Amino acid sequence: MKEKTSVLIITLILNVAVSIAKIVIGLIANLTSVLADGFHSLSDSFINIIGIFSIKLSNKKADKKHPYGYEKYETIATIIIGCICLLLAFEVLKTGIEKIVNPGGYLKIITIAYFVMVGTIALNIITFLYEGRKGKQLKSELLVADARETKSDVLVSLAVIAGIFFISHGIAIADGVLTVIISLLVFRNSLQIFKDASLILTDTSIVSPERIEEVVMKHPEARFCHAIRSRGKPDAIYIDLHLGVDPDMTVEKAHDVVSHEVKLMLKKEIPGLKSVNIHIEPDNESGRQRKRSVFKEIDF
């Protein structure tokens, strides 16, 4: 938890620096595209703040009220990120259309604008490389989603630099057109964030059944393994499966020895595993065919 929070605090500082630089130059030069890009970066700062609080909540230990833990609070924060990006996209789109209809003028500080944008691009590259790498290491969907958002900032800023070039050559409408393009990029990014979060909230399979079966069948007492299911997110994986054993094996050995050892094997082989629920079955025709439960025709 502390490492995730530290990553977000560092990212927050970098995002604030980038957003202030863009907003100031956008206001001074009356460049709507630069200003929009600045507010886009500012939203990243609010996202970081939300992330810090969500990580604190998501790492609370399971209790009677939340027996499966609090990990999905991080997913909720990820959805909030998507909502912020979506609202921002509509606001930027509106501003861009207004700028196309009424291009207006700008102050001739193009050289300064170039330097500011190049500097912010450098900071954004450092930010998304750092946060993305840490997100994968810590298996945090929040950090990965935030890094993806920062990566889109680099593409947007490159487009803004191209727009400044056209504006400096008398094509004032380029400012509005570029602002509209920025809104579409932000919109696309928000959809990706919603997609990633929805996969977790809808309990999409996170580990292939084949991979789980491969690990389980390495145990010498495992006769078969089916009805395999998994859900959760990379740093909080939950697995259910049916394990076939010798029909003459005692319940005590099947539960206290074989089942326990299989769980240890899965924990070692599958990073982020939080819990495994194993249903013991006899290795006979009835057991091998029992892929359905009382509640389902089949347990996938």
What does the block give as tokens for 117?
Answer: 């944008």
For residue 91, what are the domain limits? 2-201
Domain end point (choices 201, 227, 242): 201
**Which residue, of 201, 220, 240, is where some domain finishes?**
201
d(CA 29, CA 20): 14
CATH classification at residue 148: 1.20.1510.10
Q: Which of 145, 174, 201 is a domain's end point?
A: 201
CA dist list (Å): 271 to 48, 88, 128, 237: 26, 36, 24, 9
Q: Are 12 and 113 in the same domain?
A: yes
Residue 134 within any structural domain of the chain: yes
Question: What is the separation of C-alpha 269 from the centre of its chain, rounded to a whole number of angstroms?
Answer: 23
Question: Which of 6-15, 87-96, 102-111, 246-255 has the lowest average pLDDT?
Answer: 102-111
Query: Is residue 107 domain-shared with residue 35, that is, in the same domain?
Result: yes
**From the CB of residue 251, how many other CB atoms can be counted at a distance below 10 Å?**
8
Whether pLDDT at 11 is above 90: no
In a domain, 298, yes or no: no
Strands lying side by side in the sheet with 224-233: 224-233, 236-245, 273-282
Query: From residue 253, how far is each of 222, 249, 262, 264, 277 by CA, in Å?
Result: 12, 7, 12, 15, 16
Residue 264 pLDDT class (50, 70, 90 cuts):
very high
Whether the per-residue pLDDT at 46 is higher than 70: the answer is yes
Looking at residue 53, what is its pLDDT? Answer: 73
pLDDT in tens, 213-260: 999 999 999 999 998 999 988 778 999 999 999 999 999 999 999 999
Measure the CA–CA gap between 191 and 175, rounded to whole angstroms.
25
Same domain flag for 154 and 263:
no
